[in-house]
Amino acid sequence: MTSICLIRHGETDWNKEGILQGTKDTPLNSNGILQAHQCSEFLKNSQWDILATSPLQRAKQTAQIINNNHNIPLIEVKKFMERHYGDAEGMTVEERNTKFPDQKYRDQEAWTDLQKRSMEGLYELHERFTNQKILLVSHGAVINAILATLSNGKIGTGKTVLRNTCMSHLHFDGKWSIENYNVVSHLSQYNDQENIVHY
């Protein structure tokens, strides 16, 4: 059985300010670095074989911090880059609502294309590292597209708000299954408020 732990990257200043990042290459802020360290600490007593990451800086930083407690091979996978939001990238919520009231952003990557490349990436990881345990650091839209696909739309895109450095666990044993999603019990800022969501 192949196991994959999907991890959203840590917080950035743009996350905090509600600015749409997409493919803009923003770094973690101090809270995002703390979140990554807390995620690393939580995972340190579990065994993993490989760590895959989006090539964007905020994901790579998160992955590198997590890997401090594992020292396992770290690979970059372009198919797990965040969705491209076209002309809306770099805009606040207010700016987006003003310029794109229908939320149809010019030159945005189509959701079906995002879904296709995210799932292709997932299957490629499984084929390359069959029966291994994989940590995968990616982005909110990518992880939500995967969750939406595997749950037939019950969770994920349009329904699930993923927290920074949340974890979602998947298994492949003939077919994909979701064990849980949006797990934030490792984060001090949510410890008293959030529970593990089992699917």
Q: What is the pLDDT of residues 79-129, one digit of tens each?
A: 999 999 999 999 999 999 999 999 899 999 999 999 999 999 999 999 999
Name the residue ranges covered by the structural domains of the chain: 2-198
Contact 6, 166 (CB under 8 A): no
Q: Looking at domain 2-198, which CATH architecture does it have?
A: 3-Layer(aba) Sandwich (3.40)
Q: Would you state the pLDDT for residue 162?
A: 96
Question: Annotated catalytic, 194?
Answer: no
Give the span between the Cα atoms of 38 and 43, in whole angstroms.
Answer: 9
Which residue out of 11, 82, 89, 109 is catalytically annotated?
Answer: 82
pLDDT given at position 36: 97
Query: Is-catalytic flag, 82?
Result: yes
How crowded is residue 5: how many other Cβ atoms within 10 Å of its Cβ? 21
Residues 181-198 have pLDDT tens digits of: 999 989 987 754 444 455
C-beta of residue 167 within 8 angstroms of C-beta of residue 37:
no
* Segment 18-30, tens digit of pLDDT: 999 999 999 999 9
The reported pTM is 0.94
Strand order in the sheet with 167-172: 74-76, 50-53, 133-138, 2-8, 167-172, 176-183, 197-198
